[in-house]
Structure 1
Amino acid sequence: MTDVKAELREQFLEAFGGADFPVENQMDLVPALPDGPATKFEAGDVSLTAMELAAKLGNEQEFPYDTPEALVDDIIDGLEAKGMI
């Protein structure tokens, strides 16, 4: 699963890295996404849209985030905690 995790981390950093940090909430991330909430992240047998991430991980995130890395760390941790990766 570590390859999946590394691949997703790279995709998340690329997608969310263009946001105007610090971000105060999930909506601050939408303009950075190439396909908005429909932006899809895929690695191995894992496939999620940005909207699915927001819905499933809302409780795992602690806004505001000052850096893309801090945001992505929480996303990865949340996916692991929920057994999704």
Structure 2
Amino acid sequence: MSDDVEADLREQFTDAFSGADFPVSSQMDLVPALPQGPGTKFESGDFSVTAMELAAKLGSSQDFPYEDVETLVDDVIEGLKDNGMI
């Protein structure tokens, strides 16, 4: 995975999740912030995933509650790496 893909995804996740009412205590707290709800798609290069797929694949990688978007996005990126998705 290129650094460009990671940087692009980091920006997309930050934009999408920054509208959430932090702190968030579960994935469901993030849904209202997403432009297309659970169907919101994140894409970069050959990578493509919806918010719903992301939640299903990374549920065990996340450490709720999150106090800010940066920490949440850091964990999402790490979860994607740990699961070999990026």
TM-score (norm 1): 0.99
**For each residue in 1:24-69, what CA deviation from the matched residue of structure 2 results, as whole angstroms up to 9, or x when unmatched?**
0000000000000000000000000000000000000000000000
Mapping of 1:1-85 within 5 angstroms?
1-85=2-86
- Structure 1 moving runs of 4+ over 3 Å: none
The alpha-carbon deviation at position 11 of structure 1 amounts to: 0.1
| Aligned residue pair count | 85
Distance 1:81 1:30 in 2: 23
TM-score (norm 2): 0.98
What is the percentage of aligned positions where both structures have the same residue?
A: 69
**For each residue in 1:6-32, what CA deviation from the matched residue of structure 2 results, as whole angstroms up to 9, or x when unmatched?**
000000000000000000000000000
Distance 1:17 1:51 in 2: 17
Gaps of 5+ in 1: none
RMSD: 0.3
